[in-house]
Chains A and B, each alone.
Chain A
Amino acid sequence: MIATSILQSLPGRLAQAVEPAENNPVLNISIFLAFVAVTLIVVIRAGRNNKTAADYYTGGRSFTGPQNGFAIAGDYLSAASFLGIVGAIAVSGYDGFLYSLGFLVAWLVALLLVAELMRNTGKYTMADVLSFRLRQGPVRVAAATTTLAVCFFYLLAQMAGAGGLVSLLLGINDKVGQSVVVTVVGGLMIMYVLIGGMKGTTWVQIIKAFLLIIGAGAMTVWVLAINGFNFSALLDSAIAVSTSVPADAILVPGLKYGENPLDFVSLAIALVLGTAGLPHVLMRFYTVPSAKEARRSVVWAIWLIGAFYLFTLVLGFGAAALVGADVILAAPGGVNSAAPLLSLALGGPLLLGCSSALAFATILAVVAGITITAATSFAHDIYMSVIKKGKGDPDAEVKVARRTVVIIGVLSIAGGIGVQGQNIAFLVALAFAVAASANLPTILYSLFWRGFTTRGAVWSMYGGLSVTVGLIIFSPVFSGTETSMFGAGVDFAWFPLSNPGIISIPIGFFLGWLGSVTSTRKEDPLLAAEMSVRSMTGFGAEKAVEH
């Protein structure tokens, strides 16, 4: 899957297509259609009760902690996790594992510092919390801007990934065929979100996460069984066929990030601090009835995501041992083909069909989750709170949200088709970096620092966003190397790292502090006290919708 930054050095792999003999596109498509049929029924049933804004945006806050935990895992385990991390471990060994760790540890930030306090003070969006005790207009617009930016980067990466996946799984290599698939994915996503709202989208996530974790778990047991349930023996057989020099280099850091360790440190910081600032993750704290359920959902998410990454460790080395790194790299889809090829080696075309359909379902569900987040933010923060000054009709707000879904869907289809074949692997890393530099400082300051002001929030959000995007533009991602977007011929890259987090995150925090201490306008002490009391006690928090 294109959506991981570790794949940046593997451009154009999709082009050298070699159809695996046993791949059966008809079977793959049938299994995927079965998933679509089942989830559509669920979505239609879930959509029946969507009456109010709270229903549409938060599924009536009626999900239990465990259900929401599955949905969080479903949102979070994108195709980048399933295909990307298994592939990275299969090809780069330990460095792939290193990458997965950041995604897990990040959840402690969400659990300890953010989830419950957010749930207690907010209603629908991140901006609800950030603007609670500051000036509504400027803070909401800034928060909606960063929310939409993160969603856009993430969405584009997923849509482009869908196109790349197609060539691998369905044997469609021409641009027209891939564009058709991107359109189908986008169209289905619009349908899910329009009909089902947050409740329908959440159920799709739950089903997908369940299938993904069960599927990965079953394959893990299978791989371990082949090796007599001895992980050390599995490592031995992976080393035996390894082509790296020395062969056991796959067990040591450095195969992937050895050349630029600072870039990896920068990526790791963005992963750990970005997760708790991702808008579609924050949104998930509102789909439960209380702060306690929000905590339970994060706990479930940590167990599920942790288990999944342990599975990918086995599956990655399993793919290295049973398929071989050079075979994986030579296959269409390159490093992303490790998980599908492993399932082919284990269970033949049927298992390959299942894992391919799972990868598609993953993209579909993740895209739906991000779209509803972006639409909610636009309708609630910009339309309702800024344009209508909070006095608009709530029904009209939901109507705006639905229209926004269609617009975002069409834009992401167009964008997804536009970026086919482009090296846009950096987009997910960029989404995390923006979330960590623009969103997280403001979230933490809002929740933990009384002296934080409107100016601090606005400076931190716009500053964090523009510094992050600016550094990416002047990094090797855009120009100066063979794998850059503009190729080696154009070179305006003066920033040496592909991951800007190590610079942009401190800048985001610094600007929040600087803006606050230089503020001349005093914030309302009553609202600050109220926010503090409410965030700690849960008094006055939004209740579940009764039907």
Chain B
Amino acid sequence: MTESLQEKRPDGVLPSRIDYIAYEKTPKFIQLKKQRRGFVLPLAAFFFLWYFAFVIVAAYLPDVMAIPVFGKFNLGLVLGLGQFVTTFAITMWYVSYSNRRLDPLGAELRAELEEMDKK
């Protein structure tokens, strides 16, 4: 590797013999990337919209939040606690998806890359 290329290397990243541009086009890597983004991006969009819908109703339509549901619980409290529930649920769902789908594939690719690096 030439001096100028060496200088461009990010801190602590050692030059590697792996052709990353080619590796990025391997079907398995494309599958991992697709699976990961396909899972997290829609989920991120969902919680974002759900949270902002809630905030906007709370800010501009407080009367809707005052609708009684049961006991002293009104719609505002129920929807607010609903935010807790969805946050916890998304967390658990993501963890289980990662453990089942993303981690095994990621580990497989990592082993493959480590093997390539040795050669």
Contacts and interface: CB of A to CB of B under 8 A. Distances in A.
A243 interface: no
B51 A232 contact: no
B110 interface: yes
Nearest to B10: A132
Interface string B48-72: 1001101110111011011000011
B33 A536 contact: yes
A310 B56 CA distance: 22
Contact of A113 (B40, B55, B109): B40
B99 to A, nearest CB: 9
A21 interface: no
A119 interface: no
Nearest to A448: B37
B2 interface: no
B74 A526 contact: no
A265 B55 contact: yes
B21 A525 contact: yes
Contacts of A532: 20, 24, 33
A105 interface: yes
Contact of A542 (B12, B103, B106): B12
Contact of B113 (A104, A303, A539): A539
Mostly, the A contact residues are helix
A265 B59 contact: yes
Interface string B69-112: 00111101100100110011011001100100001001001100
A537 B113 contact: yes
A101 B8 CA distance: 43
A330 to B, nearest CB: 27
Nearest to B55: A268
Contacts of B56: 265
A38 B85 CA distance: 37
Given A136-B11, A258-B62, A303-B88, A112 B110 contact: no
Interface string A290-319: 001001000100110010011000000000
A380 B109 CA distance: 31
B110 A537 contact: yes
Nearest to B37: A448
Contact of B84 (A104, A239, A292, A526): A104
B10 A131 contact: yes
Interface of B: 7-8, 10-14, 16, 18, 20-21, 23-24, 29, 32-33, 36-37, 40, 43-44, 47-48, 51-52, 54-56, 58-60, 62-63, 65-66, 71-74, 76-77, 80, 83-84, 87-88, 90-91, 94-95, 98, 103, 106, 109-110, 113-114
9 contacts: A94-B76, A135-B8, A251-B72, A302-B88, A303-B88, A536-B32, A536-B36, A537-B106, A540-B14
